[in-house]
Amino acid sequence: MPVTRACDHCGQEFTRPLSGMGKYCSKSCGYAARRKPDEDLARRRLIYKPQHPLADAHGSIKEHRFILYEAVEGANQSCHWCGKNLIWRVGRTGGDTLIVDHIDYNPKNNDLSNLVPSCQGCNIHRDRPIKAMTQHICMVCNDTFETVKSSGNANKYCSRACMYARNDPDGSRIKTCTVCNNKYRVTYVAKDPYVDPICRKCPNPRATS
């Protein structure tokens, strides 16, 4: 025997056989009622623009990306937070892909004043506090360097070369590259003291000449 009752989500009355009676008038109401508030907040509104340069394979584009793209007329932008040069792309691939960031962290507030271009790093980590840099003196070469870490070998040595050469008291295995001025560690001391030291990362001018 059919029974009529009100939907627990939208309040609309619906009629259904007693054997199939439920709390909701449709599947959409059932899904909406079971959806958590934070999941509803994270949902992005889509616009159907199949000919748009940022449209996906289904012809849809997220509303906040569409609004900012049209406002800047499709021109590539720099990150609002760190100044990194960014490029408009479909999806989030590559470190220089432009991501539209919401200033107030509300993904539903797609007002143009709330949208700024951002890189992926700033989009994820911009709310984290910036750690203070502290100065230290290298225990091997006595050079002054800065680091954000305050424990372990990070505040003892200015580079890996100095850390590996901590058992080399006279410092004969620590060289400074004449090309890039970075320190590096040699596995053996060159017999010819007049040869200019060059690290492995820099091209050897003798080999190219």
Together in a domain, 173 and 202: yes
Q: What whole-number distance in Å separates Cα of residue 207 and Cα of residue 7?
A: 81
Q: Is residue 75 part of a domain?
A: yes
The residue out of 125, 145, 169 marking a domain boundary is: 125
The residue out of 63, 96, 125 marking a domain boundary is: 125
What is the total residue count of the chain? 209
The residue out of 125, 150, 165 marking a domain boundary is: 125
Q: Is residue 83 part of a domain?
A: yes
**pTM of the model as a whole:** 0.45
Which of 159, 163, 164 has the alpha carbon at shortest distance from 177? 159
CB atoms closer than 10 angstroms to residue 168: 13
Together in a domain, 109 and 164: no
3: three-class secondary structure by DSSP? strand
User: Whole domain around residue 117: which residue ranges?
Assistant: 46-125
Model confidence pLDDT, tens digit, residues 61-76? 989 999 999 999 999 9
Q: What whole-number distance in Å separates Cα of residue 184 and Cα of residue 168?
A: 13
Structure tokens at 149: 């870490």
Model confidence pLDDT, tens digit, residues 105-155? 888 889 999 999 998 888 887 766 556 677 888 887 788 887 766 666 677
Structure tokens at 183: 């320190």
Together in a domain, 155 and 190: yes
Structure tokens at 200: 């492995």
Task: Count the domains in the chain.
Answer: 3
Alpha carbon separation from 9 to 21, 43, 96, 163 (Å, rounded): 15, 19, 43, 65
